[in-house]
Amino acid sequence: MTIASLISPSAVMVNVPGNSRKQVFQVISERLATLSGLDERAILETLRQRERLGTTAVGQGIAIPHGRIAGLNRLVGLFAKLARPVDFEAMDGQPVDLMFVLLAPEDAGADHLQALARIARLFRGPTLAQKLRQADDEATVYAILTAENANRAA
């Protein structure tokens, strides 16, 4: 499984506005609705419910919000670089400015877990996050995320 199989160029957002998780999730849910064909409110509620279980921040300013949702027939990913960092109550105390969002079908099972593991491995080192923070447009961010070296991080 590669990152390119999880996101498309239209699933990359740069300078996402918002001063809170809720505001950022609202903006992201709108794009995810377009990408998936699902209801924006259902996506927003899925992300918010998962976040209530515990933060999806993994540290170093990175979060991986995710959830299973009815009506979806494939994994749908989205990468967002926030306009300004937002508090996600991360264990390391750092606010989040990079997010990889993953939606999965309700019956995704192992595919969902494999995709989450793949995304987490991608962000394991500091180099990728640094490159993404320096990029200022969607095409560059997509190229960085889907570069062969990034995909070999598995």
Contact 64, 47 (CB under 8 A): no
Query: For the chain, what is the largest distance between any 2 Cα atoms, rounded to a whole number of angstroms?
Result: 37
Q: Tell me, what DSSP letter sits at residue 57?
A: E
Q: Does 112 participate in catalysis according to the annotation?
A: no
Catalytic pick from 21, 66, 112, 118?
66
In terms of C-beta distances under 8 Å and separation of at least 24 residues, what long-range contacts does 27-36 make, across chains too? 28/65, 28/78, 28/80, 28/99, 28/101, 31/78, 32/76, 32/78, 32/101, 32/103, 34/10, 35/8, 35/10, 35/11, 35/76, 35/78, 36/72, 36/76, 36/103
Active-site residues, by number, are 66
